[in-house]
Amino acid sequence: MDDPLHRPLKTRKVRKGTRSCWECKRRKVRCSLSTSSDNAATCLACRRRRTPCVSQEFSQDYAPSAAVSPATPTVHSTEPSGLLSPISCSSAIKEPDLVHGVSISAGISKKLHDALPSRHDMEIIWQALSLWPLIIAQMDARSRDDVVIDEKHLRREFAQVPEQDAHPTTLGRYLIVLVLVLQEIRDTNRNFEISEPVPTVMNRIVGAVNTYLLSNECLSGTIEGIRCVLLEGIYHANNGNARLAWLRFRRALNLGQLLGIHRLGYSGDNSTQSLKSQYLWFRLVYFDSFYSMMLGVPQGCVDPSMRSKSPFAHLPGLTHLERTHVQVVIRIIERDTRFSFAEEFEITRDINKQLLQAARDLASEFWLPFSPDVTSNDNLSPDAECKEIMKLVDVLHHYTLVTQLHLPYILTPSSRNTSYEYSKSACIHATREILLRFTMILNVKRLKFYCKRIDYFVLIAATTLLLIYLDSHDQSKKTSHFILTEHQRLTDRTIIKQTLTFLENSSAEGYEQSYGKGLNLLLCLLSIEAEAASGQAFVISADMSQDHHHQQRKNAEDFDHQSNGNSKDSISVNLPYLGVVRITRQAGNHSQMANMSQLLYPSNNTNVSGEETVNTSGPLYDSHDLGTDTQLDWPSFQDLDLAFFDSLVTGGNMDVLATSEA
């Protein structure tokens, strides 16, 4: 019988100058030879991937199944492909031999596999899981139209646990998807139990993925590694840890830039693999930009294509609203970093028109809080439920952008520019829409898991709305045509109280761990607003200088000394990019302000009794007005991971806090 190993190799005619191997061509990476004479027949990329290195002059199906051998025949080219190869572990360290590399990879896979729950626990998880986390995990590298929502297919795929010898990125991705599944089960199924506490399992899995996979630049610097980093960011976002989420999104974005996927949109390549990488790049830009805006930091990608009328227009399946949101986020960040809001108001108007046009292009039903089927039908199809949740995400992001766009003008006197009244009205409408949808989500069990993801949107919306009310109570601004009616005020306060009650209950059950400052701020602002509505005078002032953005605490102290009255009768709130907003009580005594400070950081035995009343001579707040009669164990909260509430209490009343806690 003819021995295929000794059969003469058939060559094929290739284009002049084509000397890269098949694998590098498929992956669209640089194909270059090793400088070592021992490995001159195998390109560096194939050695790193441990894949057969076959020149294009030979048939593609000539590929040995074994690992790469130095004797594999190949011819290479020095022509650049326009993309970088996967990130090298270290240019100063010599490439390890193949056997050693395989053993390292196998060791990582084994350690990742050991982080999995027991087989019995996995069966319980499989029975309790819902489809939404499995759908979310697909959206990192495909459009919404291409997402698989077939329940049987998704369950069957999730039940196929990777073996111990699977590639580390395959195991790592499965583990992160498993964590997303456990997150959803934890928040929607209180009766769910496995042999270990769910938080313990989640922490072990995330720790293993970070230690053994994402800390390895050789593994995380690939397309699959970047997808793992992005999914971990989504996990932290679902937990309400905005800073940790942003760190993961920024790292994934930087890894994508090093890999060159940001240039694929200009290559004209519409292959399936290229489109997946381009969709991944869009998601990286989307998440990084949005969280950069929320945290008050510059975006990680300044792409000229973002300034075009239709960015990412070459990607089919992306909605016009998604594209518009990415562009608007970047424009808001650029405007805010210039710190000249009065001069930039025309830019604000133009961005506002862009948001309005994107909204008008959608059907009017899109802006309904929920379709009737969502609240009345417990057996909603996965397709319909997915569309409703995606619509909810888009609407919440849209109104959050409206709030962020007009936020710099809510405390500016309308006498300077009557157009500022429009900004106040737009902010009020947007914050109400966010709060309304949040309270409605609480009544839909299937969507309740999403509450934690949007908690910081809700906290910002409620804080912004209360600041506008406080500003409207300022008697010195009564000449403005901007009017908030008492009927609106009662409704808004009721919704904010309901939001606070939910967040407090979630905290008591252990679901929330990062909203201490935000909740305390809302409690305090609710009390101050109630007192201001009853006639107590407060002065609302803002210092929106660029220096304050860089030196918050120093300038906040300077701002305290420049203000009238006793500095201990005030609190200050720092907003990203915008500076410090100071609320000062007039003609009040120091004990009253001490009570206000005690609201922000009460002691362990602080009890909100239902018998206290709001007045200008007694305690500052009424717990009945706050909508709670439970003991608040505030020290159990961690600080909110959001710059909106950073340095919440600054200036002179820090001394009051220190004294009261001593």
Q: Domain ranges in the chain? A: 22-62, 99-315
Tokens at 205, concatenated: 């899995």
Q: Kindly indicate the confidence band of residue 91, based on its pLDDT and cuts at 50, 70 and 90.
A: very low
What's the one-letter identity of residue 505? Answer: N
**Region 573-588 average pLDDT:** 72
Q: Which helix (H) or strand (E) holds 404?
A: helix 382-406
Of residues 103 and 624, more confidently modeled: 103
Tokens at 470, concatenated: 């406080």
Of residues 217 and 202, more confidently modeled: 202
Instruction: Indicate if the pLDDT at residue 325 is higher than 90.
Output: yes
Instruction: Indicate if the pLDDT at residue 348 is higher than 80.
Output: yes
Question: pLDDT tens digit string along 470-488?
Answer: 888 876 665 555 667 778 8
Q: Kindly indicate the confidence band of residue 287, based on its pLDDT and cuts at 50, 70 and 90.
A: very high
Of 14-23, 42-51, 284-293, 528-537, least confident by mean pLDDT is 14-23
Of residues 34 and 81, more confidently modeled: 34
- Look at strands 538-543 and 570-575 and give their pairing: unpaired
Of residues 425 and 447, more confidently modeled: 425
**Region 585-613 average pLDDT:** 43
Q: Kindly indicate the confidence band of residue 82, based on its pLDDT and cuts at 50, 70 and 90.
A: very low
Listed in sequence order, the residues at least 6 apart from 180 whose beta carbon sits closer than 8 Å to its beta carbon are 133, 136, 137, 231, 234, 235, 238
Phi–psi pair at 577, nearest 5 degrees: 70, -30
Q: Which helix (H) or strand (E) holds 396?
A: helix 382-406
Report how far residue 205's alpha carbon sits from residue 182's, in angstroms, rounded to the nearest whole number: 11
Of 117-121, 548-552, 600-604, least confident by mean pLDDT is 600-604
Instruction: Indicate if the pLDDT at residue 246 is higher than 60.
Output: yes
Note the pLDDT of residue 377: 56
Listed in sequence order, the residues at least 6 apart from 129 whose beta carbon sits closer than 8 Å to its beta carbon are 155, 158, 181, 184, 185
Of residues 594 and 390, more confidently modeled: 390
Note the pLDDT of residue 258: 92
**Region 239-253 average pLDDT:** 90
Note the pLDDT of residue 281: 92
**Region 480-503 average pLDDT:** 80
Note the pLDDT of residue 594: 42
3-state class (DSSP) for residue 28: coil
Q: Kindly indicate the confidence band of residue 61, based on its pLDDT and cuts at 50, 70 and 90.
A: low
Note the pLDDT of residue 418: 74
Tokens at 129, concatenated: 């899981």
Q: pTM of whole model > 0.75?
A: no
Note the pLDDT of residue 202: 95
Instruction: Indicate if the pLDDT at residue 115 is higher than 50.
Output: yes
Answer for the pair 310, 323: CB distance below 8 angstroms, yes or no: yes
Report how far residue 290's alpha carbon sits from residue 454's, in angstroms, rounded to the nearest whole number: 13
Rounded to a whole number of angstroms, the distance between the first and last alpha carbons of the chain is: 92
**Region 334-363 average pLDDT:** 88
Listed in sequence order, the residues at least 6 apart from 568 whose beta carbon sits closer than 8 Å to its beta carbon are 590, 593, 594, 652, 653, 655, 656
Of 47-51, 454-458, 547-551, least confident by mean pLDDT is 547-551
Q: Kindly indicate the confidence band of residue 558, based on its pLDDT and cuts at 50, 70 and 90.
A: very low
Instruction: Indicate if the pLDDT at residue 408 is higher than 50.
Output: yes
b/e 419-442 (16+ beta carbons within 10 angstroms → b)? ebbbbbebbbebbbbbbebbbebe
Of residues 642 and 387, more confidently modeled: 387
Note the pLDDT of residue 402: 96
Answer for the pair 652, 584: CB distance below 8 angstroms, yes or no: no
**If we measure between CA atoms, which residue out of 154, 189, 152, 236 comes closest to residue 446?**
189
Angle 525-545-649 from CA coordinates, rounded to 5°:
30
Q: How buried is residue 605: exposed, middle or buried, by Cβ count under 10 Å (0-12/13-18/19+)?
A: exposed
Tokens at 560, concatenated: 């305290």
Listed in sequence order, the residues at least 6 apart from 139 whose beta carbon sits closer than 8 Å to its beta carbon are 147, 283
Answer for the pair 89, 217: CB distance below 8 angstroms, yes or no: yes
Q: Which helix (H) or strand (E) holds 540?
A: strand 538-543
Report how far residue 413's alpha carbon sits from residue 59's, in angstroms, rounded to the nearest whole number: 74
From residue 307, alpha-carbon distances to 54, 244, 334 in Å are 42, 28, 12
Across 544-651, the runs of DSSP E, i.e. the strands, are: 570-575, 579-585
Q: How large a percentage of the chain has pLDDT more than 90?
A: 25
Report how far residue 54's alpha carbon sits from residue 66's, in angstroms, rounded to the nearest whole number: 13
Of 367-376, 399-408, 464-473, least confident by mean pLDDT is 367-376
DSSP label at residue 78: -
Note the pLDDT of residue 102: 58
Report how far residue 71's alpha carbon sits from residue 69's, in angstroms, rounded to the nearest whole number: 5
Of residues 189 and 146, more confidently modeled: 146
Note the pLDDT of residue 29: 80
Question: pLDDT tens digit string along 562-576?
Answer: 444 444 567 777 766
Q: Kindly indicate the confidence band of residue 289, based on its pLDDT and cuts at 50, 70 and 90.
A: very high
DSSP label at residue 138: T
Note the pLDDT of residue 228: 96
Instruction: Indicate if the pLDDT at residue 240 is higher than 60.
Output: yes
Instruction: Indicate if the pLDDT at residue 77 is higher than 60.
Output: no
Report how far residue 41's alpha carbon sits from residue 596's, in angstroms, rounded to the nearest whole number: 75
Report how far residue 531's alpha carbon sits from residue 538's, in angstroms, rounded to the nearest whole number: 9
Of residues 395 and 263, more confidently modeled: 395
Kindly report the average pLDDT of the chain as a whole number: 72
- Plot region of 54 (φ>0 → left; ψ -120 to 50 → alpha; else → beta): beta
Listed in sequence order, the residues at least 6 apart from 91 whose beta carbon sits closer than 8 Å to its beta carbon are none
Note the pLDDT of residue 658: 31
Instruction: Indicate if the pLDDT at residue 282 is higher than 80.
Output: yes
Report how far residue 23's alpha carbon sits from residue 48's, in angstroms, rounded to the nearest whole number: 12
Note the pLDDT of residue 576: 66
Question: pLDDT tens digit string along 130-168?
Answer: 888 898 899 888 888 888 888 889 999 999 999 998 999
Note the pLDDT of residue 359: 93
Report how far residue 194's alpha carbon sits from residue 205's, in angstroms, rounded to the nearest whole number: 15
